[in-house]
Amino acid sequence: MSDEIDALILARQAGALSVEEHRRLERLLRDDPAATRRLAYWSRQAVDLRLLLGASAHADRGRRRRAALAAAASVALAAAAALVALMVWPEGDGVTTPSLEQVLAAAPPAPPAEAEPPFVAGAALTLADGSVITREDDARLRRLPAAAGDLLALDDGRIACDVRARAADAPLLVRTPQLELRVVGTRFSVAVSGGTTRVAVEEGAVTLHSARGDRVGRVQAGQWRSVDGRGHDSYGHLGDLGLLRPWDGATPAGSWRTLFDASMPRVLARMRGAVHAEIARPDGLLGALGTVPSSQNSAWSVFELTTRRAGHFLVHPETRLSLVLLQPPPAGDVVLLVLVLNDERGRFVTNLFHHLRPAGRGWNVGGIRVGDCFVGPDGDRSVAELTGMRCVSVIGVVFGPRSREMRLGWLRVADALRASL
């Protein structure tokens, strides 16, 4: 009997159960307490496998990713430096690295914190059926008259669309210089840049047509497709673009690590379609910055940084993080900043948490002192012990339960961690 129970449960978890076998398993679960105990057992094993295999798989992918980014960084160094200069918020109360100062010196003067361009104003467009189109600050989006449905023209930049189910004869059309997208209910993003349109679909599917109206294809959930003006077409699974994840599956220090190990692969998988900046600093720091809307009503803003070569950051409790939120979190939200620190071998060191209380100068949450963060409940080190700790990567998550599109502008890396390369 127990062999049969195990076989049925494992077949169910492999997606190989017939209707008859499902009915049989259901009967066993109703009538035999041993069957439900086995289902609990195999379910625990399945989620543990996801956790343990996920950590090592992401480490492998991170190594490949770093190699690819290193090559790209050498070509795009000048552009990346300008990007970083624009994104890093200058402030006088922290520690800055010389290399960053060099970058800042070449950049235009940064505006004061109050002048942070608000993301909300004019950025979110709600259509009559409740569909929400959110555009990035610099996206050029126009609404055009349409005989049926809605018609948007995206000339440049990126938009994220959460489109309610609608009739096939009243679709949402998104027109770019290269493509026309027809949508009858899905979540996806479109980016137009450098003569290329890239579509990434999170849920549902999007039909693509050429500018002449010919059907180009269909992008399904979990896929991206990129088309340039000359008709060059590339596509792939969003999972192919692994982000940096340098730890190697070494022993977790506590259950908070377990919590984040379990959730981060999924978060990062979503982030792949939502990265709004990749960072390649002249001093060897690489990273990515993105906003990850959840399935319903929350968002994870995620950033990740790592060193390109055999370098490290030095953490000091007196250093400060300056965080720029591009949208205010809703009143009463609990917003946690989580820093996941890994050591030189990519092994987990500890998590640091800070309860963010945005106040004062716009949404610039300035001056969070590392020493004021708290270590996770099962962390094995105090913050003070981290002084001088060498870390090769930092993953940060800002977690707001009701913040659908809260965006993390930038964490002042230079104030938080000193690069020592």
Which residues ranging from 48 to 67 are in contact with other proteins (CB under 8 A)?
48-54, 57
Whether 62 contacts 243, CB under 8 Å:
yes
Residues 131-190 that bind other proteins (CB under 8 A): none
Residue 327 structure tokens = 């949208």
Residue 33 found at the interface with other proteins (CB under 8 A): yes
Q: Is-contact 126 148, C-beta < 8 A?
A: no
Only segment of 98-106, 207-215, 292-300, 303-311 that touches other proteins (CB under 8 A): 292-300
Among 62, 90, 265, 362, which residue sits at the site for other proteins (rule: CB under 8 A)? Answer: 265
CB 217 within 8 A of CB 225: yes
Check residue 330 for interaction with other proteins (CB under 8 A). no
For residues 29 and 11, what is the distance between their CA atoms, to the nearest angstrom? 15
Alpha carbon distance 302, 290 (integer Å): 6
Best CA proximity match to 155, nearest among 135, 136, 173, 139: 139
The only residue of 62, 90, 149, 249 in contact with other proteins, by rule CB under 8 A: 249
Pairwise CA distance, residues 220 & 223, whole Å: 6
Q: In whole angstroms, how close is the CB of 54 to other proteins at the nearest point?
A: 5
What number of H helices and E strands is found in the chain? 7, 25
37 near other proteins (CB under 8 A): yes
Helices 255-271 & 33-75 angle (0-180, nearest 10): 60
Question: 49 is written with which tokens?
Answer: 């496998």
**CA 346 – CA 22 distance, rounded (Å):** 43
For other proteins, give the closer residue by CB, 100 or 253: 253
Beta carbon nearer to other proteins, 89 or 256: 256
Binding window for other proteins (CB under 8 A); candidates: 45-53, 66-74, 148-156, 305-313: 45-53
- Contact at 8 Å (CB) between 400 and 297? no
Q: Is 379 in the site for other proteins (CB under 8 A)?
A: no
Shortest Cβ distance from residue 88 to other proteins (Å)? 28
Is there binding between residue 296 and other proteins (CB under 8 A)? yes
233 makes contact with other proteins (CB under 8 A): no
Give 24 or 418: the residue with its C-beta nearer to other proteins.
24
Are β-strands 364-369 and 374-375 bridged in parallel, bridged antiparallel, or unpaired?
Answer: unpaired
Among 108, 109, 231, 332, binds other proteins (CB under 8 A): 332
Among 371, 401, 418, 421, binds other proteins (CB under 8 A): 401
Binding mask 189-228 for other proteins (x = CB under 8 A): ----------------------------------------
User: Would you count residue 353 as binding other proteins (CB under 8 A)?
Assistant: yes
- Choose among 294, 307, 300, 397: nearest CA to 70: 307
Token duo for residue 242: 């692994």
Among 72, 107, 151, 336, binds other proteins (CB under 8 A): 336
Element (H or E) spanning 101, and its range? helix 98-105
β partners of residue 407: none
Please give the C-alpha separations between residue 244 and each of 49, 78, 151, 343, 418, in angstroms, as whole numbers. 21, 22, 37, 14, 20
**Residue (346 or 376) nearer to other proteins, CB:** 376
Which residues form the interface with other proteins (CB under 8 A)? 6-7, 10-17, 19, 22, 26, 29-30, 33, 35-37, 39-54, 57, 239, 249, 251, 254-256, 258-259, 262-263, 265-266, 294-298, 332, 334, 336, 353, 355, 374, 376-378, 401-402
